[in-house]
Amino acid sequence: MSDKEYSNFGRRQFLARAGKAGIAIAGCGIASYLLYDPTGPRPGVKVEDLVTLADFSVPHKTGQTMSIVQGSDRAKTVDKAIESLGGIERFVKPGDTVAIKPNVAFATPAMLGATAHPQLVAEMVRLCYKGGATKVIVTDNPINDPTSCFTLSGVGKAASQAGAEVVLPKTHLFKYTTLTDGRLIRNWPIFYGPFYKADKLIGISPIKHHHRAGASMSMKNWYGLLGGRRNVFHQDINTIIAELAMMVKPTLVILDGTEVMMTNGPTGGSVSDLKRANTLIASTDCVAADSYGCGLLNLNISDLPYLAKAEKAKAGTNNYKSLNPIFATVS
Amino acid sequence: MKIVTVRRISQVFFFLLFVWFCIVSTVGERFWQLRGWPINWFLQLDPLVAVGTILTTHTLYWPLLWALATVVLTIIFGRFFCGWVCPFGSLHHFVGFLARRKKKVSQKIQLNRYRKAQGIKYLILVVFLAMAAFPSLAATLQTGLLDPISLITRSFNLVLVPIADKSANLISVPQRFYEGAWLIFAVFLTAILLNLVIPRFYCRFLCPLGALFGVIDGLAIWKIGKKTADCVNCKLCEQDCEGGCEPAGNIRISECVLCFNCLDGCKHEVIGYQTRKSAAGETLPDISRRGFALSLVSGLFALGAVRLSNKLGSNWHHKVIRPPGALPEEEFLKRCIKCGQCMRVCPTNVIQPAGIEGGLENLWTPALNNCIGSSGCQLNCVACGQVCPTSAIRPITLAEKRGVGEFAEAGPIKMGTAFLDRNRCLPWAMDKPCIVCEENCPVSPKAIFTREYFSTIRDGILMVKDFREQRIETVENNLISGKFATGDYYCAIENGRRWKITANTQNSIEISSENISGKILAESSKIKIQIRLQRPYIDIEKCIGCGICEHECPVSGKKAIRVSAVGETRSEDRRLLLKG
C-alpha cells in the first residue's frame, strides 16, 4: 500500500474492513459452537444402522413341507420335488423378485460337487420365471475370489443364460444386522443388498462333508450371507449355524444329494470324494431338510448339534418324519 | 492434414489403446475383459525388453519378436516410437505442453534447448545393460526399473486403475490392493512433475529406452534436418522441440523424437524430413569414452555389490513366494521386467510387487502375499504365466500346475510350504475349535489334516453332587449357564469315558444319552469338562503353498498358519524333503 493510499484510508473503507473481519470472527465462532465436542471420542463399538432380513416364507401347508425325490437328473428331480409341494405357483407369485442363494463358495468346477450344480440353478431360475417372477437374482458371497467362483463353478453362466441377474458381493451391498435372540450375530455385516428388494428367497446347496461342522447343507449355506471376518465363528460353529437358521426365513430350500461329497469337504477336489445318492430334497424348513440330508452322509442327527440347537430356537424341526415328507421317484 | 496433426492423432490413439489394455487385463469373458486382447503389445514392441532378455538369456523369446518391427522402423524413420507411440512419452509431451503453453517464445526456446546432461540416459542404459550382459558376474535384468513401458504399465495397473475403480468397482469386485504402491506412484509422479521444470524431462535425461533408440537412430535413413544452410536462424523451430535436439543448429539426431514441431514451426521451409544430412550438420549421441567406461564398470560393481547380500544363496528371503510357473530365482531375475502384468491379471490379487527385503534386485518383482487379496493362489488358475511378457513366469497349463496327466510323475507345482504357528493357532494355543485352514485347503486329499484332542478346560475339574439320568449336579455352582452347550464340550470321568454335554446351568450339566448304563458316577467323584479340539497338522508332501489357509486364518494381523517359500519345486536348492 502506497503512502497515498494509506493517507486516503477513510472511514468508509475502515468500516468495510471491520465488517469483513466481524463476519470472519462470527463465522469462526459459530463453526466452533456447532462442532463443539465436550467429551472427546468414547471407546466401544459404533453401532451402525441395523437392518433386518425380511421373512421370505410362504404360508404353511400341512403335509406339503418337504419332498424327497429320487432320480439322477437334477432338472427332473427338482421339478418333481416342487410340484409335489404344490407347484412353483405356491412359492412364486406373478411380479415377484426372487433371490436364489446357491452355494458357490469355491472356485472349482461343477463336477467336483463343492458348489451348487449349475444345471440345478438354471432350472430353478426357469421355474421362478414360470411362476411369474419378474426378476430372478442369483447371488452368493463366496470364500474364494467371487468372480472366479461364479465363473469356474459354471453357476454364473448357467444363471445368466437362464435369464437371472448375477449379483457379486460388492462392498456397498453389506449392511449390519443384529439377530434379536442371537449371541453371535450382533452388529455384524451381512450381504444384504440382493435380498433387500427380493420378495422370495430360495437356497440351493449340495450335501457335503464338513470336518468342523460335520456337514454343510442348507443351513450352512446361509454362511454365505455373512460378511466381515466371519471365519472367527468357527470357534462356535454349531451356534452360528443355528443362528443363521434363525436369521434366514427362506421361501424354500433345495438340498441336492444327487452326488454327495463324502470326504475331504467342504472343498472336495476329486471326483473320488463324491458318492452318487440320486436324492434331492425340497423343503420350506431347512432344519428338516438337513436332518434328512445328514443320513446321506451316514451321520446321525445327534452328530450335528446345530440341528438340535436350531429346533430349540424354533427355526424348524429336526424330526423330518413328523412332517410326513412326500417321497417320489423320477426316471 | 499437417504432419503434427497426424502425430497427435497417433499419440492419442496409442495412449487410449494402452489405457484400454490396462482396463481389459481382467480375467473374464466379456469384451472388456482379458479374452484375447494383446495386453502385452506395448511391452513386446519395446526393444529394451528384447535386448535386455537377449543379453541375459542369449535367446529372443518369441512374443518379443515384435521389437524387431520397432527396431526396423526406427532404422528407417528414426525415433518414431518416442514421439508417436510411447504412451509415457505422450503423457510427458502433453504435460510439458500444458506447462509451457503460456510462456513467451524466447522462454520456450530456452526450455527446449539441448543440454549436455541429456547424455545421462545413455549412461543409465550402459549401467543396466552391463548388469545384464556378464553372466560370469551374475546377469540380472533391471531395465524394468526405468523402462518407460514397464514403468507406465506398472503405474497405471497397480496404482491409477485401482484408485479410479475403488468406489465404482466396475473392473474388480473387491477393491484391489498393492503393497508399496506409494513408491511406484512416487516415481511416476516425480517423472510427470519434472515436465514442469523441463519438458519431456524423463525422455531427455533418464529414459533408457530413449537412449537405445538414440543409439539406433544413428543408422536412420530419414531424419530431420535443414534442407539448406540458407536460414535466418529465427529459432522458431526450437520453440516446441520435444527432444531438445537443436534443429536450428548442429542437430543432435539421436535426441530427435520425431515430433515434427520444427517442420511445422519453420516459416521459411528450411527444415525437412529427408535422407540427406542436415545442411547445418548433425551429431550422434554425446557419450564420452570415459563416461561409457565409468558407467560400464559402475554397473558391474553395482551388481556385484547387490549380490553380496547373498539373497540368491543361503540368505534368500522366505517370504519371496513366486507365482506358480516362475523360473528358478536366478533365471527369473534374468527375465522379470517388473511390468506388473501378473499382479494386474491375478484374479485374487495375491500377487504383489515385492519390496527390497529379498534384495535390491527384487524390487517390484512378483511375490505372493496371502494377507492381501480375495484368496490365496487359486488352484484352478494359471493366469499369471499366460500374461508374463518374458516368460519369467512360464505359461504353464493347469495340468502342469496340478501335476496331473502327463505331469503326474513330476507332481504339482509347489510355491512353498505352509507352516503352523502353534503359539497363535486357536486349537493349539487357546483351546478354541477352529480348523478354518483345513476346511479351505483345496488339495485332495487335504494337505492339512487334524488330530482329535480333548483338552480339560481351565478350572474344569468339578465334583459330582448328584447324578440322575443324564443330569449331573455339581458341587460348584459358578458355571456359566449354557457355556458348555455349544456341541464342542464333553464331560469325562476318570476311567476315560466321555459324553457330549448338551446343556448346562450354574450347577449342573446335561450329557448326551449315548452309552449310559446305570449309575456310574458316585457322589463326590471328579468329572472333567473338556473341549473337543481338532488340531491341524500339515502334510508337507501334499502342501503346494497356495496360501489359501493363510488367507482364511482368522488369527489376523500375523496369521497362525503362514506360507514360506521353502520347498518350492522351481528350485532344487530350496527343496525341503528328500525325494522318493
Ranges of H-type helices in B27-65: 41-45, 47-57
Measured between beta carbons, the chain B residues lying within 8 angstroms of A172 are: 169
Task: Check CB contact under 8 Å for B439 and A266.
Answer: yes
Mean pLDDT of chain B: 93
Tell whether B396 and B460 lie within a shared domain.
no
Asked if B173 lies within 8 A of A169 by C-beta distance, the reply is: yes
Q: Using alpha carbons, list the distances in angstroms from residue A141 to A93, A115, A224, A310, B429.
A: 26, 12, 5, 23, 30
Rounded Cα–Cα distance for residues B341 and A295 (Å)? 49
Residues A108 and A187 in one domain: yes
Residue A206 located in a structural domain: yes
Contact across the interface for A231 and B553, Cβ inside 8 Å: yes
Residue B560 forms part of a structural domain: no
Chain B 376-395, CB below 8 Å of chain A: which residues? 378-381
Structural domain range at position A29:
3-35
So what's the pLDDT on residue B572? 85
Per the CB < 8 Å rule, is A267 touching B500? no
Chain-chain contact of A148 with B378 (C-beta, under 8 angstroms)? yes
Residues 91-130 of A with CB under 8 A from B: 106-109
* Grid coordinates of B119: 547424455
Q: Which residue of B has its CA nearest to A306?
A: B487
Q: For residue range B175-191, list pLDDT tens digits in order.
A: 899 999 999 999 999 99
Q: Is residue B303 within 8 angstroms of chain A, CB to CB?
A: no
The answer, for B436 touching chain A at a CB cutoff of 8 Å, is yes
- A227 in B contact zone (CB under 8 Å): no
Closest by CA position to A247, among listed A44, A49, A97, A50:
A50
What is the residue range of B504's domain? 451-536
Are B143 and B65 in a shared domain?
yes
Helices and strands: H and E segment counts in chain A: 11, 12
Beta strands in chain A (DSSP E): 50-51, 66-70, 97-102, 135-139, 165-167, 174-177, 188-191, 200-210, 214-216, 252-261, 274-283, 326-329
Q: Do A29 and A147 have their domain in common? A: no
B516 has pLDDT over 70: no
Question: Of A145, A172, A235, which is closest to B375 when you measure between CB atoms?
Answer: A145
In a domain, B310, yes or no: no
Report if residue B311 sits inside a domain. Answer: no
Is A229's Cβ below 8 Å from some Cβ in B?
yes
Provide the CATH number for the domain around residue B394: 3.30.70
Question: What pTM was computed for the model?
Answer: 0.92
Q: Is A123 a member of any domain?
A: yes
Q: What is the mean pLDDT of chain A?
A: 93
* Same-domain status, A140 and A23: no
Do B206 and B337 lie in one domain? The reply is no
Give the residue from B165, B169, B437, B439 with the most A CB atoms within 10 Å of its CB, the best one to mutate.
B439
Confidence of residue A7 (pLDDT cuts 50, 70, 90): low
Chain B residues close to A267, C-beta within 8 Å: 439-442, 444, 446
CB contact under 8 A, B534 and A212: yes
**Cβ of B514 under 8 Å from any chain A Cβ?**
yes
Distance from CA of B449 to the nearest CA of A (A): 10
Residue A282 DSSP symbol: E
Please indicate if any CB of chain B lies within 8 Å of the CB of A143: yes
Question: What is the number of domains present in chain A?
Answer: 2
Q: In terms of domains, do B477 and B389 share one?
A: no
Say how many domains are in chain B: 3
Nearest to B353 by CA among B396, B320, B326, B384: B320
Residue B497 has pLDDT above 90, yes or no: no
Same domain, B256 and B389: no
> pLDDT band at residue B495, thresholds of 50, 70 and 90?
confident
Tell me the three state secondary structure of residue B320.
coil
Which whole-number Å values give the CA distances from A246 to A128, A226, A305, B60, B412, in the listed order? Answer: 25, 13, 15, 63, 43
**pLDDT for position B493:** 86
Inspect the interface and report whether the beta carbons of B347 and A273 lie closer than 8 Å.
no
Q: Is A64 on the interface with B (CB under 8 A)?
A: no
Same-domain check for residues B255 and B374: no
Whether B548 and B451 have beta carbons less than 8 Å apart is answered as no
Instruction: State percent of chain B over pLDDT 70.
Output: 99
The DSSP call for residue A267 is: T
Strands A97-102 and A200-210: parallel
CB within 8 Å: A170 and B173: yes
Q: Quick: pLDDT tens for B182-227.
A: 999 999 999 999 999 999 999 999 999 999 999 999 889 999 999 9
CATH number of residue A202's parent domain: 3.40.50.11440
pLDDT of B579 strictly over 80 = no
Q: Over the stretch A193-246, which tens digit does the pLDDT of each residue have?
A: 999 989 999 999 999 999 999 999 999 999 999 999 999 999 999 999 999 999
Q: Is residue B557 part of a domain?
A: no
Q: Are A12 and A79 found together in one domain?
A: no
Contact B502/A at CB under 8 A: yes
Q: Which of B438, B548, B554 has the CB atom closest to A211's CB atom? A: B438
Within-domain flag for B524 = yes
Instruction: List helix spans (H) across B430-484.
Output: 436-440
On whether both A72 and A208 belong to a single domain, the answer is: yes
Q: Is A75 exposed, middle or buried (0-12, 13-18, 19+ CB in 10 A)?
A: middle
Q: B547 in contact with A at a CB cutoff of 8 Å?
A: no
Question: Going by C-beta distance under 8 Å and a sequence separation of 6 or more, which residues neighbour residue B274?
Answer: B222, B223, B225, B227
- Residue among A168, A232, A267 minimizing CB distance to B442: A267
pLDDT of residue A48: 67
Which residue among A234, A263, A270 places its CB closest to the CB of B433?
A234
**Is B444–A109 a contact, with Cβ atoms under 8 angstroms apart?**
no
Contact yes or no for B534 and A211 at CB 8 A: yes
